[in-house]
Amino acid sequence: MRQNGSMEFGAEDRAALRDAVRSLEYPNYAARIANLIGSPIEATLKRLPQRAQEGIQDATQLAIAKCLDVALRSLETRTRRAPADALHRFMAGVSGAVGGAGGFLALPVELPVSTVIMLRSIASIAASEGEDLSQVEPRLSCLEVFALGGRTDRDNAGETAYYVVRAALTQAIREAAAYISERGIAERGAPVLVRLIASIASRFGIVVSEKAAAQAVPMIGAAAGAAVNLVFTEHFQNMAHGHFTIRRLERKYGPDLVRRAYEREKDLLDGA
């Protein structure tokens, strides 16, 4: 019987767990965006008018709804030997160049495109970690990654944010998976699917707001827009690598042992 958390892990799995904790608990997305635009994200966000904030929310909901359709209708289910991270970053960069050239007004068009590109990247990462994407629940777990990249004021800093978000989404994903398995996805307006989209979009919108604020900077241009999207995509690729590493380890060692080991690694990193 396992008793000592990460002491039971092999060296390779222990290193993978540590990398996952770094990715999931200590993202540096906002700092990297601030370096690109030359000012703190918070200051730029405050300058966005209320109408712009509402536009961001609408675009975010649309992007997640589109991703739900793609995840369940046309997501590739074949396992890749290795995820195509670089290819997907390039494609997202091209999309970001269009967004940068069009500025904030291009967001409703550009965001669904770049989000679907990221979803396909996330799915390739999931498959590389052994997820069976022919099943509904792993596909919905790909969408779950979009909720992992942002923090809210309600988050308890004393708890591991990753497990808090997963716990908050567990019921919504379980109900949506059961509904889809029984009835299919003809009715995207079904309450269980609306709740899932809203739950993911509320957190995804935090990062989207930071991206939109960067693209709202006057004269950001196509090159800077591409750079913003590269950072945006890499951020969620890192979240996906961390998330599906944890799920792989849970299948191997059990959820309880992995969570204890995760919390121990986080404590060590916090004290470093």
Buried b (16+ CB within 10 A) or exposed e, 62-78: bbbbbbbebbbeebeee
pLDDT at 54: 85
Apex 54 CA angle, 48 and 60, nearest 5: 105
Assess contact for 21 and 270: CB atoms under 8 A: no
List C-alpha distances in Å: 218 to 29, 37, 39, 114, 225: 21, 10, 13, 21, 11
Residues of the chain scoring pLDDT < 70: 1-7, 36-44, 76-105, 150-160, 185-188, 216-225, 272
Q: What would the two tokens of residue 237 be?
A: 């690729």
Give tens-digit pLDDT for 116-160: 988 988 999 999 999 999 999 999 999 999 999 765 444 545 455
pLDDT at 5: 44
Q: What would the two tokens of residue 162 be?
A: 């990753």
Domain locations along the chain: 30-252
Give one word for 261, left, alpha or beta, with left for phi > 0 and alpha for psi -120 to 50.
alpha
Buried b (16+ CB within 10 A) or exposed e, 224-259: bbbbbbbbbbbbbbbbbbbbbbbbbbeeebeeebbb
Separation between Cα atoms, residue 208 and residue 201, nearest integer Å: 9
pLDDT at 29: 78
pLDDT at 170: 93
* 218 φ, ψ (degrees, to nearest 5): -55, 135
pLDDT at 158: 46
Burial class (CB in 10 A: 0-12, 13-18, 19+), 221: middle
Q: How many CB atoms lie within 10 A of CB 152?
A: 11
Closest CA to 140 of 98, 94, 183, 179: 179
Separation between Cα atoms, residue 63 and residue 229, nearest integer Å: 15
Helix pair 221-253, 191-215: axis angle to 10 deg: 140
